[in-house]
Chain A
Amino acid sequence: MTAFVRTRGEWRLNAWLTALLLVGIVVAANRLAKNHLRLKADLSEEQLFAPSPVATRMLGELEDVLQVKVFFTGELKHGPVKIAKGRLLDQLDEYEDAARGRMEVVFADPGSSSEVRIEAQKYGIEPIPLRAVQGTSELTQEVFLGMVLRYRGREGVLPFVLPQSFAYGFLSEVHRLTRDEEIAVGFVAGTAEGAATDDFGDARALLGGRYKVRELVGLADGDPVPGDVRVLVVARPVDLHPRAAFAIDQYLQRGGHVLLLTERVRIDLTRLDARLIASGLDELLAAWGVALDEPLVWDQESNWLNIPGVGRTQYPFWVNVGEDGMERSVPVTGRLPGADFFWAHEIGATGAVSGVARTSLVRSSASSWVVEPNDALATGSGELNSRGVELLATEPGRRRDLAVWLVGRFPSPFAGAAPAPRDAIADALWRDAVRVALEEGREPPPREVATTDEEVLSAAAEGQVVLVGDADWISDGKFFTQRNQLLFENLVDWLALEDDLIALRAKLPRERRIDDFLTQEKEKRGLSTLRGSGALELEASDPRLLSEAERAAVLRRWLCMAVATGGSLFLALLLGLAWRLAQRWGAVA
């Protein structure tokens, strides 16, 4: 710098100009990098931020141009949303790169013209009102952040996107659009004999986003499960006609994939009622080598029940399955954080069936027992506590299968005698007779069904069944938790052989729980074998042991902190000593 200047004034001018130039370069380089530099490396174990190989492959294999019309509000007044929009555009750029010229992005600002706004709303993209604070004033702006995807005449809409969920939403939509065929999922619920009046609307809507959901209501009347159905979901079957069971069985014999969510009891806490229900599939289950008995799973690792006026209670019938309860070796459950089940049944075994393999997918915790359904009507913490102590005294808890996967050539229970289609009059008379018998406290009469001599397939082709001992977990409202939605989507995708979707969804952070010192210390003293509400009872019986355990846990915590902090200081001291020695030797040398 000094080579070309002779006076101090010249030097100052030169320095100022260079400094300004450098500031300009810094700003311009950052701006350019922000928009165009896309080099990233993900050092994390789970590779949560790296572009998924499935996404890269999916977009790289596009055979035609994927058109993306982005309806984003141009002039955003909300700072965080503006930043979110920038991130979304970054992600879109990455996908454009991955598509290698087969993705065309067009931007439209619904805030700039009413025509664009109407177009966006025609696609179901509605604005979200957002409040923005600027200085002392507060204003509300309607923000559009949606997009429409078009591929080979098909359309998909993402009504409102956010950076954290954009990757999965966008790519699953691309996956749906680029599939050659629209995959059909059959849905059977309740008695399967009429319009659906059940509480599985949310589950159907979730599936409807990616599959063609077909309501199967004519199975009892002799309709088979259509051949194009890739997965058959049977949710809480009630008194299914044998012909409907036969249709399910024959679908399985043809190599079908069934997701069966069944239960033996319906609990209604508002009426304090535990009603037994018959699925009509017992014969089928027995032929598959599984059994579902009336007792319900009691798990100390449970969710909280909140009853107005009574308060919050840890309710052992609302099973909270953690990461360790999900089978790790199977992709469908391998990366899931857990699931929530409500009044679930253990899936037992009636004996091994030749040619059928059974794998447990979801299991309760090791502190689980099975109890009579009426026990589930008790919701007070006192009652639950004492029942928990009783259970612990009776037998040690163990893990219970809540969902199993069966695969193989299933023997048909209908071999040689196919049930005839439903006779509506005979069926109505039977139902009436059952009602009267129940009212009078008698044993209900058996359902008499004629048989036909049509051909019955048995062990004909390899089929798959996922059997879950609970149907409440996919029912509408709060039971269909985010974890349950993930499990449900994964199960259907897996059975539909849509591995790409599972791979996209598998990007969940691993649970990284640290050791619980208090629990360990309690266990050492025999206090915490039973966790949850029951544990309170046991602990209360020996407060000395409890306080001893608490003291030991606190001591271990302090020990950990002392090791960490002391280790750091010791390391610093070692480095200092090493420096001194190096200095001394250097001086001697």
Chain B
Amino acid sequence: MRRTVAVYRRELAAYMDSPVAWVTTVLFVLVLHGVFFFKGYPLGARQVPAFWEGRTASLQALFAWLPLLFVLLAPALTMGAWAEERRSGTEELLLTQPLRARDCVLGKFLAAWSITAILSAVCVLPLALVVSRLGPLDWGTVWGGLLGAFFLSAGCLAIGLFFSAVSQEQLLSFLLSVAVLLILWSASLFVDVLPPVLAEVAWYASPSVHYVDTVTRGMLDARDVLYHGLLVLLGLYLTVAVVEGRRWR
């Protein structure tokens, strides 16, 4: 555990010291608030009008966008986790330390997860306060949406870490993660045109279904928690396996 915490602190410091994290934060806040106020969520079956258009005290439009933004944010945060270590030659140094691969992976994951969680909270809470001043906001759905965002981001980050571990280049890692997350995110949009069995699988496999349909409306379902938990477990295990494999080279 001590070793995991050491890696976690090192990674967190790297994120906090990096200008990229700050630029990402500003962009994330501006984009999310922009679409919330002006655009709404125009995709799929659950369309939500923009805040000024719908005139309803609810953060549904913002939460509906989060899965898609995580498709970009999680790979951006994790692409350097292993690929950058490899490029700069610190990977070998790290792996020769008395650290188990799972300590490294878990530390890196927790650091990225903390950043995403802070970013989500920073983005949502001031907005929720403003909206609650304008109308009767249901805070239960806000906490639900935030909790769901933490789960959702964990799954996305685990997938991002895996692709960072298998890729030689940061860009490649980013593109692969985005492609896979995008496929998973959009799976639920194609249930109309897929054969019924595939439609059911695609619908259930999509992380956004386990977020937008339930927890953003305030319903915390154990199936969703299990889904995200297993996704994280799978992603982290595969990453550990890949990192462990490098020790054998």
Contacts and interface: CB of A to CB of B under 8 A. Distances in A.
Contacts of A557: 52
A455 interface: no
A42 interface: yes
A30 B29 CA distance: 33
A514 B221 contact: no
B244 interface: yes
Contacts of A428: none
Interface in A114-139: 133-135
Given A22-B234, A134-B193, A575-B122, A83 B199 contact: yes
Interface string A437-453: 00000000000000000
B231 interface: yes
A511 to B, nearest CB: 8
Contacts of A40: 219-222
A576 B16 contact: yes
A571 B136 CA distance: 24
Most buried by A among B37, B122, B139, B204: B122
A328 interface: no
B35 to A, nearest CB: 12
Given A82-B196, A513-B135, A567-B130, A15 B226 contact: no
What bracket does the count of chain A residues touching chain B fall in?
35 or more
Interface stretch (B55-63, B91-99, B165-173): B55-63
Interface string B97-136: 0000000000000000000001100110111011100111
Interface in A78-101: 78-80, 82-83, 86
A575 B140 contact: no
A200 B4 CA distance: 72
Given A30-B230, A39-B221, A43-B140, A512 B135 contact: yes
Contacts of B123: 568
B56 A564 contact: no
Interface string A562-584: 01110111111001100100010
B49 interface: no
Interface stretch (A44-52, A372-380, A475-483): A44-52
Contacts of A12: 245
B56 A565 contact: no
A254 interface: no
Q: Which of B26, B125, B218, B222 has the most CB of A within 10 A?
A: B218
Given A40-B219, A43-B218, A560-B130, A571 B226 contact: no
Nearest to B29: A568
Contacts of A82: 196, 199-200
Interface in B163-217: 191-196, 199-200, 203-204, 217
A357 interface: no
Contact of A514 (B55, B218, B223, B237): B55
Interface in A30-67: 30, 33-34, 37-46, 48-50
A572 B135 contact: no
A565 B29 contact: yes
A43 B219 contact: yes
B200 A86 contact: yes
B195 A134 contact: yes
Interface residues on B, range: 35 or more
Contacts of B248: 8, 11
B68 interface: no
Contact of B231 (A26, A38, A45): A26
A567 B129 contact: yes
B137 A512 contact: yes
Given A15-B241, A22-B233, A516-B55, A571 B122 contact: yes
A34 B203 CA distance: 12
Given A512-B135, A568-B33, A572-B122, A43 B141 contact: yes
A561 interface: yes
B219 A512 contact: no
Interface in B4-32: 13, 16, 22, 25-26, 29-30
Given A44-B217, A512-B137, A561-B33, A135 B193 contact: yes
A395 interface: no
29 contacts: A11-B248, A29-B226, A37-B226, A39-B222, A41-B219, A42-B140, A42-B218, A44-B140, A45-B139, A50-B219, A77-B195, A77-B196, A79-B194, A80-B45, A80-B192, A83-B200, A134-B193, A512-B56, A512-B57, A512-B138, A514-B51, A514-B57, A514-B135, A568-B29, A568-B126, A570-B126, A571-B126, A572-B122, A579-B16
Top 7 A-B pairs ranked by shortest CB distance? Answer: A44-B218, A79-B199, A567-B126, A39-B222, A514-B135, A79-B191, A43-B140
